[in-house]
Amino acid sequence: MNKFKGAIFDLDGVIVNTVPLHFKAWKRMFSEYGITFSKEDYEKKVDGKPRVEGARAILTNITDEELIRACDKKNNYFNEFLEKEDIEVFETSITLVKQLKQKGIKMAVASSSKNADNILKKIELYDIFDADVSGTDFKKGKPDPEIFLTAAKRLGLSPMECMVFEDAQAGVEAAKNGGFLCVGINRYESPEKVKKADLVVKDLKEIGVSDLEDLFRRKNVY
C-alpha cells in the first residue's frame, strides 16, 4: 500500500504572492500593443498558464514570432520588478514546508513560471526543496498533469505517494488528472476554483502533517 512520501507545491499563490508583479509586467507589455489589461483578464485568461498560452489568449492577432518577443518582454519586466521590489511570502506555508522536511517528506516546487528558481532564491528557500519544475521543464500547461507528473518523477515517487498543494482551478484539475491527492487553498473567497480538491482550506495554517496523513488514510491511498 502507498504511503504519503511526497509534497508538491505550486509556487505563486501557495508559497508566495507574485501576482502583483506578474500583473504589472503583463499590463506593461500589453499596453505596448494598445491593449488595456485588467485584473479580470489576468485571472480568467493568463493566471496559472504557461507564458505563451497566456500571451496568446490576449494577443490573438500577431504572428508566433512576435508573440515570443512579447513574452520575452513580459519576462524581462517581471525580473526587473522582482529585483527591485519585495514579494509577499505566506509564512504559514513555509511553516508547513519545514514541518514536512522534518518528517522526511520529499518536496518539490512545480510552477508554470520560468522564474521559479529566481523567486525561491530571493526568499532564501531554494535549498529546502528536493526538486523543482519550472516552465522550461514541460510542454503541456495545466490542466494537463505533465507538470506534476514531472515533479513526482524527479522525487522518485508515484502520483499515489504524493500530495499537491494548489490555489488555482487549472492546477487542482491538473493534480486530479494526474492521479494525485490535492489540497486546494481558497485564499480569496473563490471556493469554486478549488472545489475539486480533496481538501479545501483558506490557509495552510489550518493543517499539519498528521492531517495530511489522515487524508491519505481516508482516501484509502494506503
The three three-digit cell numbers of residue 159, written as one number: 502520483
The three three-digit cell numbers of residue 183, written as one number: 489540497
68, 73, 74, 78: CA torsion to nearest 10: 140
Closest CA to 107 of 217, 203, 212, 219: 212
Residue holding cell 519550472? 134
Establish whether 10 is a catalytic residue: yes
Q: Is 208 helix (H, G, I), strand (E, B) or coil?
A: coil
Q: Is 172 in contact with 197 (CB distance < 8 Å)?
A: yes
- Distance set, CA 50 to CA 38, 144, 213 (Å): 19, 11, 32
Q: Which of 10, 47, 130, 132 is catalytic?
A: 10
216, 219, 220, 222: CA torsion to nearest 10: -10
- Distance set, CA 108 to CA 53, 71, 95, 160, 168 (Å): 24, 26, 15, 15, 17
Q: Is 154 in contact with 70 (CB distance < 8 Å)?
A: no
Establish whether 41 is a catalytic residue: no
Active-site amino acid positions? 10, 12
